[in-house]
Structure 1
């Protein structure tokens, strides 16, 4: 191969590598955005290639606003001729119209089943940021789109004003909205417990942690249903770290084969994390039920326990101040007490397993 051929071959390899890297980065970035929007409760992130109707978009706007906790399933009044009171999005359409986030059409229709355009969507998100008609002069639509671009609400969106939006576009749009400052200068996402990471992206973990409920042990499906503030069939369910499609059957199997199921849930996104007690997961959380047979103290600090041993013979490390206090002489747990431990497991270079307690439930 001559020098010219080598250069050409290297150019092809570098180009393919560059494209592959960019594709992987774009995919990872969208996965992050999808996770954030899913946790936020703004919209369902399933089927990202589906187009979004005007009714659905009105619902997204309301779910991103302070009205999300008060909106009801049925509107008291019918604001538009083609949106009856019992319409799925009637209440959200009424709020979006009253707040000036979306407009109806001449003749008194809203056209809730028509696809939403970028122009409609830009008006809606700018309204959430506090911008009204008085902030735009001349061509209102054109001025709004200019502001939309100036605020970089268009990041990862390549749409013209009259193009319709897919769910993927809305995921990007609302993610950008969360990072954008309102007209008054506050990051919009703070209202949904959003925090930025060092590289300027939204951290989905802090969003979950700020409003995560649990842990709780349930030993029957009726107990699980009474504990949850939403229907099991409407939820995104993860069992022992894996997503499950038929949550009812999966819960039945888990309950029949264990001492119960550990439950965490997130109301806004209707997400449930279930862990089978006694089933040890190599990644993520695990739960174990047992009797405390020993509390281990470090010889350098006789007041602070470093680990506990259950009657299964395993040692569970205590590394956080909260867990150390709970199992110390100042806490309420003693040798002989039964407890459910929530822990994570890691494997060292030599294959030794370390179990670290992150939470507990007195049985």
Structure 2
């Protein structure tokens, strides 16, 4: 107890060589592949074999898909033979015809095209440069050096690790085309801009182009016949294998992209407000949430001119961006939702005399927070599981008992144990305080869920799990950041001396106090044979200050540097922070109970609340608590009530990062997944500076990752990375 905590944690420094791979590499490759699929430059078989060699026929398809001709492929027809080895019936024929007519590619002198030949790096970049409007005669040098050098100058070869004469796979070719969109064409502007894309900061926004070919929204009836067989399907904005449409599903499609978007989201309840007017509404409020009406036809359904509006019980059929694409009334509007209570509030209403109105806000499995009026005499605690029923008569909220299931989510995120997950499964992670958030199935891939991890589930008519309410499984509901300072955890010497002096003066005119204590262990003085010593010590105010100063923790900077430098091992750190009883608040207060004045008052003062100054998502945040939590430095996790007050605070575990990938890091031979919203800070002389992972390379920085390790089944994610420059 006479040494600072840091002294107990010193160990031999571990020298770790660090090689950090740029996280943007894999990220851009994935983006490039997804864009190629969206533009129909690649099909599902090619997506499943990204390492396969790209052929000349496939290159022609990619060239056309990344051109202004991509929507006119269907008009080419299948008439005639273009080359001796490429009949008009070949799926590549229309693409080759367009590519050859525009001079991007050529056939051979023997009349063949050789569509199955592998494509080399120089052949691909030459075709792409022509696509971008460059004339080969204007390039410096001869083929292929002139083309390869120009491609490097424009950035086409960024992250494409291939040299002259080497063949390309589909992932590498997708990267070439993605880089072309952000590079300058012969006209001087970004090539992607000529195709209608928005290009900014090296990124391509495809939404504007996709919206031009988008048709919808449509509301599915009993039967639906699409004008094409979709190659890509998104259900509630997630990729899906099923193109099935059920009655009242909202759908959109793009025939040129051969893509279908399906939405099954609903908002049901009583309309409590319309805006801007009852006769010509553009939005309605249902269950406490306002929704935009997507068309004049939908608006007319809730217009007062047609007998609709405030007071009507409806089910809103929601499409993209939660716009209302359709409205169902009557018995067909019956709906049921499941979720967790976030707030329950009572307020005074004076419409028909003074009364109390209670509103309950529920976060439902579909990610929509619904507010329902309930009986003022009922209690709905935060964190309760409830069921909301909507019928023509109105809405009701009832508490439901837990319904548990266990098993492992498969790698595809399509099953929980032996039970299949519905294609449109809704998953909600919750805490007992009512904090909640939706979870995508892939987030739980490979995670084993116990009975305690699942609070409730429902199944559809096919016996598939279609709703799943979890119990703090992901750890994503906690707030994460870095600890910058702790106020009142440790007083400075002068403040402490004043406190001790004032306490001592109040208890004794001599300013001294006598304490008697017994310690068990190896004695250095006289013992009674039991390994104990008994002594009586007279302590002055100044002596108390000196002794107490040895109990105070080092600064957050001192501790953090010990972790970064390797002086504090992660095993010692875990032992220290895993037991709250050994830390400041509880430890001091326990000591206070067995000591006399002035020590009791001193320890109680130190063992009281604290204000934690942190950086969270790059911004300064402070948390004031009534007790102290076992957090000392670096990354921390904060669990909050729905009101924002702190429920718990935990120390994240540190690790030395040896390598950084697209979505994970390596520490030694162990891999740790990074959270999607991992925070990165540069630390210099006790100050945190929010930055990006791409800005801190391995050669110039030491990287320390901080991951959650407090029991969440799908946790153990690196939430924070702290970089220290080697200077």
- With structure 1 as the length reference, what TM-score do the two structures score? 0.72
Indicate if the aligned counterparts of 1:296 and 1:305 stay in contact, CA closer than 8 A. Answer: yes
Alignment partner of 2:273 out of 289, 295, 305: 295
Q: Hey, what does 1:99 align to over in structure 2?
A: 102
Q: How does 1:126-145 map to 2 (within 5 A)?
A: 126-136=129-139, 138-145=141-148
Measured after TM superposition, the shift of residue 164 of structure 1 is 1.2
Instruction: Give yes or no for the alignment of 1:275 onto 2:263.
Output: yes
Q: How does 1:1-363 map to 2 (within 5 A)?
A: 5-8=12-15, 11-12=16-17, 15=18, 18-19=20-21, 22-23=22-23, 25-44=24-43, 46-47=47-48, 48-72=50-74, 74-136=77-139, 138-197=141-200, 199-221=201-223, 223-225=224-226, 228=227, 230-232=228-230, 235-247=231-243, 251=244, 255=246, 259-276=247-264, 286-288=265-267, 293-296=271-274, 308-309=284-285, 314-318=287-291, 334-335=308-309, 340-342=316-318, 352-353=362-363
196 and 304 in structure 1: CA distance in 2 versus 1, 3 angstrom threshold: farther
Measured after TM superposition, the shift of residue 334 of structure 1 is 3.7
Q: Hey, what does 1:281 align to over in structure 2?
A: none
Inter-partner Cα distance in structure 2 for 1:6 and 1:142: 50
Matched residue SS, 2:62:
helix
Matched residue SS, 2:13:
helix
302 and 74 in structure 1: CA distance in 2 versus 1, 3 angstrom threshold: closer
Inter-partner Cα distance in structure 2 for 1:142 and 1:114: 22
Quick check: which one's helix share is greater? 1
Indicate if the aligned counterparts of 1:236 and 1:272 stay in contact, CA closer than 8 A. Answer: yes
Inter-partner Cα distance in structure 1 for 2:104 and 2:42: 17
Higher Rg of the two aligned structures: 2
Question: Structure 1: any 5+ residue segments left out of the alignment?
Answer: 277-285, 357-363
Inter-partner Cα distance in structure 1 for 2:299 and 2:67: 39
Q: Hey, what does 2:550 align to over in structure 1?
A: none
Indicate if the aligned counterparts of 2:40 and 2:65 stay in contact, CA closer than 8 A. Answer: yes
Inter-partner Cα distance in structure 1 for 2:167 and 2:126: 14
Inter-partner Cα distance in structure 2 for 1:38 and 1:348: 41
Measured after TM superposition, the shift of residue 118 of structure 1 is 1.1
Measured after TM superposition, the shift of residue 96 of structure 1 is 1.6
Inter-partner Cα distance in structure 1 for 2:146 and 2:270: 67
Inter-partner Cα distance in structure 1 for 2:210 and 2:305: 28
Inter-partner Cα distance in structure 2 for 1:154 and 1:203: 21
CA RMSD of aligned residues (A): 4.0
Indicate if the aligned counterparts of 1:262 and 1:287 stay in contact, CA closer than 8 A. Answer: no
Inter-partner Cα distance in structure 1 for 2:273 and 2:292: 14
Measured after TM superposition, the shift of residue 133 of structure 1 is 3.3
Matched residue SS, 2:284:
strand
Question: Structure 2: any 5+ residue segments left out of the alignment?
Answer: 1-9, 323-338, 344-360, 371-727
Matched residue SS, 1:308:
strand
Inter-partner Cα distance in structure 2 for 1:35 and 1:51: 18
Can you list the C-alpha shifts for 1:300-343, whole angstroms capped at 9, x where unaligned?
x9999796355xxx3431479999x9589799894269774426
Indicate if the aligned counterparts of 2:235 and 2:261 stay in contact, CA closer than 8 A. Answer: yes
Inter-partner Cα distance in structure 2 for 1:264 and 1:192: 22
Measured after TM superposition, the shift of residue 352 of structure 1 is 4.5
132 and 333 in structure 1: CA distance in 2 versus 1, 3 angstrom threshold: farther
Indicate if the aligned counterparts of 1:292 and 1:308 stay in contact, CA closer than 8 A. Answer: no
Matched residue SS, 2:123:
helix
Can you list the C-alpha shifts for 1:210-239, whole angstroms capped at 9, x where unaligned?
543221111244x242xx4x224xx21123
Q: Hey, what does 1:359 align to over in structure 2?
A: none
Indicate if the aligned counterparts of 2:293 and 2:299 stay in contact, CA closer than 8 A. Answer: no
Matched residue SS, 1:140:
coil
Measured after TM superposition, the shift of residue 174 of structure 1 is 0.9
Inter-partner Cα distance in structure 1 for 2:144 and 2:182: 23
Quick check: which one's strand share is greater? 2
Matched residue SS, 1:42:
coil
Indicate if the aligned counterparts of 1:74 and 1:87 stay in contact, CA closer than 8 A. Answer: no
